[in-house]
């Protein structure tokens, strides 16, 4: 019954409210945890956040599953000081970084250099950009991902992150510049010799 009510509220655009209520009761209520997980899953929140940072669907699914587990395990650490989805986004980002780190550590060097593992230049460029985004400090990464990957307007980003519009624009500009600098450093023949 509770999940049915939650689905109606989500359909009416009240997902954040449902998530906040469920989060507040989560540590002590199995029903609230079920509502929380189902709402995040039905709304596609966790998958969307992971998909904005990862290339392939299987990786997105793995990270989304790990993220949902982390959310459930650490729900009592959510204090309500920010939007619940902002807190969820932070957890997903951490799981993405963990996943990429595990992938990098488990990929043999000869496999990385093998010509049989070539990707198209578009996919390689996308991966490079995502890697650069993953290296950004969180204060810049979150607004850049919300703007350039998820396509949210500046005003919505400012509202979600509870920051001023000017701060968000500045952080996006600075974050983009940092990504561009990282990409430039990765290009062959662009190293400055001194």
What pLDDT, on the 0 to 100 scale, is given for residue 116? 41
Say if residue 162 is in the same domain as residue 181: yes
What pLDDT, on the 0 to 100 scale, is given for residue 77? 83
Share of the chain above pLDDT 70, in %: 70
Q: Which residue has the higher pLDDT, 55 or 14?
A: 55
pLDDT, average across residues 116-124: 45
Distance, in Å, from the CA atom of 157 to the CA atom of 21, rounded to the nearest integer, reads 22
Say if residue 169 is in the same domain as residue 187: yes
Predicted confidence band at 7 (pLDDT cuts at 50, 70, 90)?
low
What pLDDT, on the 0 to 100 scale, is given for residue 168? 93
Are 36 and 19 contacting, i.e. CB atoms less than 8 angstroms apart? yes
Say if residue 146 is in the same domain as residue 104: no
What pLDDT, on the 0 to 100 scale, is given for residue 192? 43
Contacts of 4 (CB under 8 A, 6+ apart): none
- Nearest CA-CA partner of 20 in 84, 92, 89: 84
Say if residue 71 is in the same domain as residue 16: yes
Residue 124 sits in a domain whose CATH number is 1.10.10.10
What pLDDT, on the 0 to 100 scale, is given for residue 53? 82
Distances 95 to 41, 81, 87, 127, 181 between C-alpha atoms, Å: 16, 21, 13, 17, 25
Q: Is residue 72 predicted with pLDDT exceeding 80?
A: yes
Single residue among 83, 110, 137 that ends a domain in this structure = 110
Say if residue 104 is in the same domain as residue 141: no
The DSSP string of 101-142 is HHHHHHS-HHHHH-GGG---HHHHHHHHHHHHHHHS-HHHHH
Residue 25 sits in a domain whose CATH number is 1.10.1740.10
- Torsion, Cα 51 56 57 59, to 10 degrees, reads -80
Distance, in Å, from the CA atom of 154 to the CA atom of 182, rounded to the nearest integer, reads 24
Are 83 and 16 contacting, i.e. CB atoms less than 8 angstroms apart? yes
Give the predicted TM-score (pTM) of the model.
0.51
What average pLDDT does the structure give for the chain?
Answer: 76
Please write the tens of the pLDDT for every residue from 142-184. 998 888 877 888 998 999 899 999 999 999 999 988 888 887 7
Are 87 and 66 contacting, i.e. CB atoms less than 8 angstroms apart? no
Q: Which residue has the higher pLDDT, 76 or 22?
A: 76
Q: Please state which of the ranges 19-23, 47-51, 57-61, 157-161 shows the lowest mean pLDDT.
A: 19-23
Domain extent, residue 44, equals 1-110
Say if residue 37 is in the same domain as residue 7: yes
């Amino acid at each position: 019954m509770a999940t049915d009510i939650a689905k109606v509220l989500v359909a009416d655009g009240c997902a954040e409210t449902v998530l906040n209520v469920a989060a507040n009761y989560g540590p002590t209520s199995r029903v609230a945890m079920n509502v929380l997980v189902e709402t995040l899953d039905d709304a596609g929140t966790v998958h969307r956040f992971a998909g904005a940072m990862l290339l392939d669907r299987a990786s997105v699914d793995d990270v989304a599953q790990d993220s949902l587990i982390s959310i459930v395990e650490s729900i009592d650490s959510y204090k309500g000081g920010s939007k619940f989805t902002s807190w969820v986004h932070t957890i997903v980002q951490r799981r993405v970084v963990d996943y990429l780190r595990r992938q990098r550590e488990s990929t043999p060097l000869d496999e990385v250099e093998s010509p049989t593992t070539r990707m198209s230049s578009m996919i390689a460029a996308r991966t490079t950009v995502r890697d650069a985004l993953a290296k950004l400090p969180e204060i810049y990464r979150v607004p850049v991902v919300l703007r350039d990957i998820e396509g949210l307007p500046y005003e919505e980003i400012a509202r979600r992150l509870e920051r001023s519009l000017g701060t968000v624009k500045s952080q996006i500009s600075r974050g983009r510049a940092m990504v561009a600098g990282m990409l430039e450093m990765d290009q062959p023949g662009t190293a400055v010799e001194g």
